[in-house]
Structure 1
Amino acid sequence: MPPDASNTRAKLLDSAARAFARDGVFNASLIEITRQAGQRNRAALSYHFGSRDGILCAVIDRHAPFLASREGELLLVAKGAAGLEPVIEALVRPAAELADSDWRGRCCLLIIAELTGEDRSQYSRELQEVLARTGGNEVFALLTERTPNLTDSLRTERFSLVVMFILRAIADRADVLERQTGHGRPQLEHEPFVANLVAMAAAAMGAPDPLT
């Protein structure tokens, strides 16, 4: 890819990451994304990515390998340990590390959190595939083994809510730390924050079925 084209693509990705995280995946203006990337040609986004789904997938795919790799490492540990907390940690720790990396990682977490709250079957195959590459399926499979008291529908509902809670909590904390305005409540250090978030999410996932 020519240097100019590569630079344009990178600027469009950064602009889209900010817009999708701030305005919502389906509400962000593609024209505004193009403008904020410094492109006068309105067809630039379409040329490089084809569509909203195309650039959305590209934004997520920048971080998918890291999330999946770290999750895989932590799942190896979780499979040899008892309980829900080691499994939940395989979701929390990679996301917390990504959030600490830079603003792009935090935007990606907010985007994935929004998409997790919707019906994935309504997404394009391309988007479903890129979301699968971020991980989570093996975590859910192991949680299924360890929550036999829950119905499939209740387990799926809890998992979606837990993932959204985890991702938003991590992204919001990182944003507060970056702004360092001196306002707002004090934030825990990284390790206590991760441990507390894991404990809270595991407790929510493992709560008794309220209908039995």
Structure 2
Amino acid sequence: METPAPDTRQRLVDAALRAFADHGVHNASLLEITRQAGQRNRGAVHYHFGSREGMIAAVLEQHADDIGRREIELIEAARNRPDDDLASVVEALVRPVTEVSEMGWRGRCYIVIVGELVQQDITPLGPEVEAAMARTGGYELFALLRDRLQPMAMDVPLENERLALVTSFVMRAVADRARSGELPPSGREELPAERFVQNLVSMATAMLTAPRPSDG
């Protein structure tokens, strides 16, 4: 017998969290998601979400506000630091996603999915997905990062490249850590969460402030 209607949507979201994290948001089978959610109706995804894109947006909404609120708190703290304190701004990128990744399997899967999406142009996924990603924050964070990078006098293309690479590096690092919770032990000792955050902030800050390449 199918799950009662009030539970169906969340069961589908949970199944999608696992499937998108394991196989990617574009490759995961909607039919398999439906089956894993215990639904016999093959149109359940389209009934509840309208499309794959609608389901992706619903998955992103699970922790978007958690990340967004925490990021704003950390940005406000960073604004009270000296103007040359770049690490406090980088922390606003690292800490919220790491905290969500520690929230059990749902948080781990969520970060793997966000880590995939930040590395691609999400415009084709539609306004719902764009809006859900926007709720995780980012605009104020990157504006403050650019302000703190001004003394380095980087040209815009180089600054954009560094910010993009550092964002991908941070998200991949957190996503890999999150994914390791679902895999057999690798033999490498995993850092405690707080030390992981501090180390990742230090590494990302060093990447942003590395010497500029020569123009040659």
TM exceeding 0.5:
yes
Partner of 1:73: 73
CA–CA distance in structure 2, aligned partners of residues 192 and 124 of structure 1: 37
Q: Which runs of 5+ in 2 are unaligned?
A: none
Query: Structure 1 residues 130 and 206, CA, compared in 2 at 3 Å: closer, same or farther?
Result: same
Instruction: Give TM-score, length-normalised by structure 1.
Output: 0.91
Describe the superposition over 1:31-69 as per-residue Cα deviations: whole angstroms up to 9, x where unpaired.
111111111111001000001110101101110010000
More off after superposition, 48-57 vs 161-170 = 161-170
Are 2:109 and 1:113 equivalent residues in the alignment? no
Query: Structure 1 residues 177 and 47, CA, compared in 2 at 3 Å: closer, same or farther?
Result: closer
* Pairing partner for 1:169 from 166, 169, 173: 173
Describe the superposition over 1:81-111 as per-residue Cα deviations: whole angstroms up to 9, x where unpaired.
1321000100111111111111111111111
Give the superposition deviation at 1:211. Answer: 4.2
Instruction: Give TM-score, length-normalised by structure 2.
Output: 0.89
Residue 210 of structure 2 aligns to a residue whose secondary structure is coil
More off after superposition, 33-42 vs 59-68 = 33-42
* Count of residue pairs brought into register by the alignment: 209
Query: Structure 1 residues 151 and 175, CA, compared in 2 at 3 Å: closer, same or farther?
Result: same
Partner of 2:205: 202
Contact 2:60 2:129 in 1 (8 A): no
Partner of 1:32: 32
Residue 159 of structure 1 aligns to a residue whose secondary structure is helix
Give the superposition deviation at 1:123. Answer: 3.6
Contact 1:18 1:107 in 2 (8 A): yes
More off after superposition, 154-163 vs 70-79 = 154-163
